[in-house]
Chain A
Amino acid sequence: MKLKDWISPFYVWKRAFEKPFTVPKPLDERPGSSRYRGFHKNDLEKCIGCGTCSSICQNHAIDMVPVEGIETTKGDSGLRPRIDYGRCCWCALCVDICPTTSLSMSNEYLWIDTDAEVFRFIPGAENKPWDNVQEGYTREESYHIVDPERVTMEMLPPDERVKSFLEMVKGYSREQAQKEADRCIQCGICTATCPAHMDIPGYIKAVRENNIKDGLKLMYETNPMPAMCGRVCTHQCEDVCALGHSGDPISIRWLKRYLADQVELDDYAKAMLVAIDSNGKHVAIIGAGPGGLSAAYYLRLLGYDITIYEAKDYAGGMTRYGIPEYRLPYDQLDKDISYILSLGINIQYNTRVGEDITFEQVYTSFDAVLISVGLLTPYKMEIPGEELPGNISGLEVLDMVTRGEKVYFGNRVAVIGGGNVAMDAARTARTFGADVTLLYRRRIEDMPADEEEIIDAEHEKVEFITQAIPLRIEQTEDNKLRFIFGLAEMVDQGDEKRPRPVLIEGKEHSIDVDMVISAIGQGADFSFLPMHYEALFSRRNQLKIDEFCRTNDPKIFAAGDIANKTKDAISAIADGHRAAKTIDHMLQKEGI
């Protein structure tokens, strides 16, 4: 060891007593300016984990990661952004794009640590001194990278609408559709909420890039009725769209319609290019509503020979005989159905199982049977006078109008109910020129009907009476019907439950009308099933069905409105797809 090595430590010690050249922290406080882009903050409650901050970051500084205590739910991925400050350049693009405005920056800029790993952190999840600093950078109200407003859809004005059954929604042009598609940030939060889990970002991208055929194919992977769904779907996806947090959600439904509208039926086969190898097995489907049709489509693609038994003279179920033409023109429904049937599916119209052919016959001649008979029996109000002529169910009215039968609505109609059937019946009666009063036992906000339906009905001058409890129907001297009802008060049922309407005794109200249309719900009709299938039921009129659409008879499966809670077309389609996969699985594996 050299002499110098011995001396230098002491040399350093000597220096220790001199005035240092470096300036120790803390410096005098020098806060960043009020809009300074300092360290990130994130309001974890507001953030939905859409990952757009991560996608836009030009430095790949952001990862989306699970955070303890944050659940994945519909509309929230449960992930939260984690930022690597080794890469961030503080450009604030992530803050500018954040659709919930949860992400922001404080004006703090000093953070000193000897451990480099701490600079990769989850804003909001790890306590930081700047979490509660008000100042810093937020997106300015008026500044938007993405247009917060959707491209308006042209509609027939209400006074035109009530004159005919012309389709009221006009559809997007190519420019409009591409502009709307351009707003999509492609986060995919919506996909989990769609009952069929359609690849929504995928087909919206196809619209944007004008890859119409690819878009159509993509839709058919999970939904073989896009022209129908593109018009009347309940679009739960739009309720969770990330953009809905600070503007209009993407018009997902109209974009789906746009794609389906771009391809002529004659060109579907060319676009889809499916090849089917029959596998020699036979599946029977009872009911040609969306549930049955969807199962038929996917089973056929898997090579099954399909026979559908349908009681009516056309396919489509409630989407044909329920939904009115101004919302879903028949030629559009037929386009979806024709393509499905064109794959070589045998359909027996006017064949009601239980009447024209027994269930037993069906059961024994096929390898598997799918029941998808929908809910066709309207519930009764259970009030005196219900049997009087002039009182009719919403389903019956809509069915008659669809079949072109004459319906006498008269001048004044009372519609009872608050669901989609009630709205459709009320608006149909308006189209026939009647004044319509809709009575519902709860409040407007409790109505199960889609919000748009309620608004459209209001625009078309349907009068609403809420908290009205039906008491009885009487015949008046001038041969009209007197609908007598009481009013209800809403009684709180505690947190989780919705308030219950309770009749205020003693006071009665009435309206005199030409027709009473009751639309308070409908149930299934399983009378076609012989007695010894009792074991299929959990309760009266309720089949026991597992998450794979199986009943407890290994050959019988169920799908559609009878098998799901949401009871809309897309859920029936999703069920049909699920049932198809299960049937395939069971038939291939177990050879039942």
Chain B
Amino acid sequence: MKELLQRLSDRFSLKEITYQRDNLIFITVEKSNVIPFITHLKQHENFSHLVMIGAVDYIENGTFQLTYLLHNYSLHADIGVRVHVQRENPVMESIHTIWAQARTYQREIREMFGIDFPGSPDVDKPFLLEGWQNIPPMRKDFDTLKYSQETYFPRSGRKHYDPQNYMKQKLYPDKEPE
């Protein structure tokens, strides 16, 4: 992996490198570098398998982080290619032309995070959430509790006791001398 990293940094500008384990590193690159970098890894470095694409909402920085996890069968090693996408109007280039199955990941991310991948087949079709009206549910500003309270009814017969009040009732109830 060391030599590989050397070769890569000769060609590309790598912003941040995290060694997770001997066979797993994460590399952050500029958004404009993602497609050439991934293409290079696939064609010249034998990272032939797209394991998955992941997304995280870093609402505090105003960005989403995408991670393309690529696997190299001969090395039994993975590289996670990371890129930050602005949260405002989030758009990322599609990689379905490099791996056809990327369309499925991209469609899911589009639905869950609202990140667009123009040109990716069926990217706007509902994936899991038919008829979803709300902001994408994996965004941190989506209020899960509020949503579930508005959408699902509690089972009948539910009752909750607040521990602090319940203990007062049981152990030191207000009493007045007669």
Contacts and interface: CB of A to CB of B under 8 A. Distances in A.
A68 to B, nearest CB: 14
B158 A77 contact: no
Contacts of B166: 64, 66, 72, 77-79
B163 interface: yes
Contacts of B158: 63, 84, 120
Interface string A74-101: 1001110000101100000000000000
Contacts of B161: 63-66, 77, 79
Nearest to A186: B164
A244 to B, nearest CB: 16
A191 B167 contact: yes
B154 A197 contact: no
Given A189-B163, A548-B177, A550-B177, A86 B168 contact: no
A65 B159 contact: yes
Contacts, number: 92
A58 B175 CA distance: 37
Interface in B151-178: 152, 154-155, 157-164, 166-168, 170-172, 175-177
B145 interface: yes
A331 B80 CA distance: 61
Contact of B177 (A72, A78, A585): A585
B78 to A, nearest CB: 20
A201 B164 contact: yes
Given A58-B145, A548-B177, A77 B155 contact: no
B167 A192 contact: yes
Contacts of B144: 58-59
B149 interface: yes
Contact of B167 (A72, A120, A582): A72
Contacts of A50: 163
B133 interface: no
B154 A192 contact: no
A175 interface: no
Chain B interface size, under 10 / 10 to 19 / 20 to 34 / 35 or more: 20 to 34
A84 B155 CA distance: 7
Contacts of B134: none
B148 interface: yes
A509 interface: no
A265 interface: no
Interface string B58-86: 00000000000000000000000000000
Contact of A192 (B160, B172, B175): B172
A188 B166 CA distance: 10
Contact of B148 (A60, A187, A188, A197): A60
A116 B166 CA distance: 29
A72 B172 contact: no
Contacts of B152: 59, 86-87
B172 A197 contact: yes
Interface string A343-366: 000000000000000000000000
Given A59-B145, A59-B148, A585-B176, A87 B164 contact: no
Contact of A84 (B154, B164, B170): B154
A51 interface: yes
Given A59-B152, A188-B164, 7 more contacts: A66-B161, A72-B171, A84-B158, A86-B154, A116-B155, A192-B171, A192-B172
The 3 closest A-B pairs by CB, nearest first: A188-B164, A77-B163, A72-B170
